[in-house]
Structure 1
Amino acid sequence: MELAPGVRVAVTDRHGGVSAPPFGSRNLGGLVGDDPEAVRANRAGVAAELGVRAVVFMRQVHGAEIAYVSEPFGDDPPPVDGVFTTEPGLALASLGADCPAVLVADPHARLVGAAHSGRPGTAAGIATALVEAMAAKGAEPGRMVALIGPGACGRCYEVPAELREQVASRVPETWSDTSWGTPALDLRAGIEAQLRAAGLPEVRHDARCTIEAEELYSHRREQPGGRFAGLIWLT
């Protein structure tokens, strides 16, 4: 779908690939135990379906490091959780199986970025770091628009009380309770708060909960399992 003029985004699901169970069938994650040839075929299929020249996949480590890219990393990507580019037709992928993707664009500056914002990354401010890195290259937060992808929702993402305290001490908006009354984290609310504080006027959502949406992979619901992707690119 179009996120902004000249900017497209997509969220894959688990269907339409070649991976065998328990990764069936469109697993895009290379570090979950799936057949590497199946993963390569799935990734190539996504690029062809989207009509992009290439897709950048990161080696996500739940950190807050950001890198500018003009080509894919290849078979040995560096440990980063955010990338951005000015290159048309180069799709940026954030893999997830409960961790939301953060897809950001300044359509005027022709800059797009993607980040993987799980619990550690949200606490570390990966979304803020992505906005700041893009701003250093000429983007303006007041012109940016973002999409937060599917993730474990604040009514399902149960955590120990001490962990909720720890994360909410950094990002208060993450404080939540499950639908059954136990401590939880709402990463989506925390990420939106970070983006708004960074100056973004427009934050959209693919609000599906990965734990509940069976068309998506969920690490909490099934192990072992695959990874889907949120992607953004310039047309």
Structure 2
Amino acid sequence: MVTTREGGVSRPPYDSFNLGGHVGDDPAAVRANRERLAGELGVPGDRLVWMEQVHGRTAQVVDGPVAEPLEATDAVVTAEPGLALVVLVADCVPVLLGDPVAGVVGAVHAGRVGARVGVVPAALAAMRTAGADVARVEVLLGPAVCGDCYEVPQAMQTDVEKHLPGSACRTRRGTPGLDLRAGLWRQLADAGVARIGIDPRCTNEEAALFSHRREGTTGRLAAVTWVDPR
């Protein structure tokens, strides 16, 4: 599932369902919003797994609740039923993965830097260690800034395209741009993933979604995956 910015208690500019605890919002509001998220998912709050996202490629496998956000981690994997994995974004690509046969799921924070250095292949490798088969993995590339909006310097585009082929594009202004979801789609397909879905929403264009590019100081939406314990 993917949240929107609606239905929480945070005040502007984090209004209102901000789930990020690192963006300057009132901690009490973030706690209330996270409690609501747990309630909507039907899981205890201590079974939400958060990451200290740093735009890297570290992937961790967890087998139970963790008391604090996973340190310096941008991908988390589990085979534990009822353990909800959370990735926070406000323009970066949230990537949700699952092998429904093995009961292994993963959540990935794939911004420009993380996608460039291979955080998604690292997540797939972690899923294999947990018992997943890449040929069975299903993926959702969630809402993110689209290629029409994501303008970057030419040198940056060239560098990212070298490491993540398929990501280079032109913006609607005709300037160099990046479509990270297109690059990640190709990377996943090349890795043997056959079922890849894309949420087409652009965070920069959709007022119901948080966008750091559009607003600067703002909240974070969450993409969440878990193994159903039933």
The alignment's TM-score, normalised by the length of structure 1, stands at 0.94
After superposition, the C-alpha distances for 1:84-139 in whole angstroms (9 at most, x for unaligned) are: 11111111111000001110000111100000000001101111110111112211
CA separation in 2, counterparts of 1:114 and 1:78?
Answer: 15
Structure 2 residue 121 is the aligned partner of structure 1 residue 123: no
Structure 2 residue 34 is the aligned partner of structure 1 residue 43: yes
**Could you list the runs of 5+ residues in structure 2 that have no partner in the other structure?**
none
After superposition, the C-alpha distances for 1:167-208 in whole angstroms (9 at most, x for unaligned) are: 011112011110110010000001111111111110011110
Equivalences, count = 226
CA separation in 2, counterparts of 1:59 and 1:209?
Answer: 24
After superposition, the C-alpha distances for 1:73-94 in whole angstroms (9 at most, x for unaligned) are: 3345311000011111111111
Q: Is the 8 A contact 2:61 2:130 kept in 1?
A: no
Secondary structure at the aligned position of 2:108 is classed as: strand
1:22 alignment counterpart: 13
Could you tell which deviates more after superposition, 111-120 or 191-200?
A: 191-200
1:90 alignment counterpart: 83
1:150 partner amino acid: P
Percent of aligned positions that are identical: 49
Q: Is the 8 A contact 2:75 2:119 kept in 1?
A: yes
Deviation at 1:71, TM superposition (A): 3.2
Structure 1 segments of 4 or more deviating over 2 A?
70-77
2:70 alignment counterpart: 77
CA separation in 2, counterparts of 1:45 and 1:109?
Answer: 29
Secondary structure at the aligned position of 2:217 is classed as: coil
The alignment's TM-score, normalised by the length of structure 2, stands at 0.96
Q: Is the 8 A contact 1:174 1:189 kept in 2?
A: yes
What is the root-mean-square deviation of aligned Cα atoms in Å? 1.0
Secondary structure at the aligned position of 1:173 is classed as: coil
Structure 2 residue 14 is the aligned partner of structure 1 residue 33: no
CA separation in 1, counterparts of 2:69 and 2:94?
Answer: 21
**Could you list the runs of 5+ residues in structure 1 that have no partner in the other structure?**
1-9
